[in-house]
Amino acid sequence: MITTPRLLLRPWQKSDLKAMAEINADARVMEFFPSTKTEAQTQEFIDRQHLQQQERGHCYFATELRESGRLIGFIGISYQDYDAHFTPCVDIGWRLHPDVWGQGLATEGAKACLDFAFEELKLPELVAVAVQQNIASTRVMEKIGMRYDSSFDHPVLAHRPDLQTCVLYYARPVK
């Protein structure tokens, strides 16, 4: 588990499905993704995170508010191997409920994950990818010290030309 002043980033629990499915079904949250997700698709996502946690010691962690224990989404790091010039890699990402947007929670949690990746896991690099229009996510990348690398056409989004152009950011440990 990773704790910050306001957040707990932890392994997924069975009781997280309903809240995460609600977040994944919200069109505002999924604006820069090909579609919203069903409860079954959310369960598949959670299952993949469980497996990655077991195999690699990290995942997109379930993220809750420490004060209330409420699940607000995920923040974490995930192994990626889709066909791109920078893969395989470990990427940092987040998806939060809209009622907590604008409070600095993504930045707070992502910074803690960056520290975890470099200090505990000793990873040599993290990347972050966002659809070019997703200015809020690129702001978080910059706030946590990531640097712009390039833009590219995401192969997973080839069927969505309106979303295909993405930006790539990276971070490396400070030596």
pLDDT in tens, 133-165: 999 999 999 999 999 999 999 988 888 889 899
Q: Is the peptide bond before 88 cis (omega within 30 degrees of 0)?
A: yes
Percent over 90 (pLDDT), the chain:
93
Is the four-CA dihedral 31, 32, 33, 34 of positive or negative sign? positive
pLDDT of residue 99: 96
Query: Where residue 116 falls among pLDDT bands split at 50, 70, 90?
Result: very high
Give the number of other CB atoms < 10 A from CB of residue 71: 23
CATH of the domain at 115: 3.40.630.30
Q: What is the mean pLDDT of residues 27-47?
A: 96
Inter-residue contact 53 to 59 (CB < 8 Å): yes
Q: Are 38 and 142 in contact (CB under 8 A)?
A: no
CA distances from 8 to 3, 5, 55, 129 (A): 5, 9, 21, 23
Radius of gyration of the chain (CA): 15
Q: For 59-102, what is each residue's pLDDT tens digit?
A: 999 999 999 999 999 999 999 999 999 999 999 999 999 999 99
Average pLDDT over the chain, rounded to whole? 96
pLDDT at 175 over 80: no
Q: What is the largest CA-CA distance in the chain?
A: 43
Q: What sign does the CA torsion over 39, 41, 47, 48 have? A: negative
Q: Give the model's confidence band at 104: pLDDT under 50 very low, under 70 low, under 90 confident, else very high.
A: very high
**What range does the domain containing 65 cover?**
2-171
Query: What is each CA distance from 82 to 87, 88, 96, 149, 173, in whole angstroms?
Result: 7, 7, 24, 18, 24
Number of domains into which the chain is organized: 1
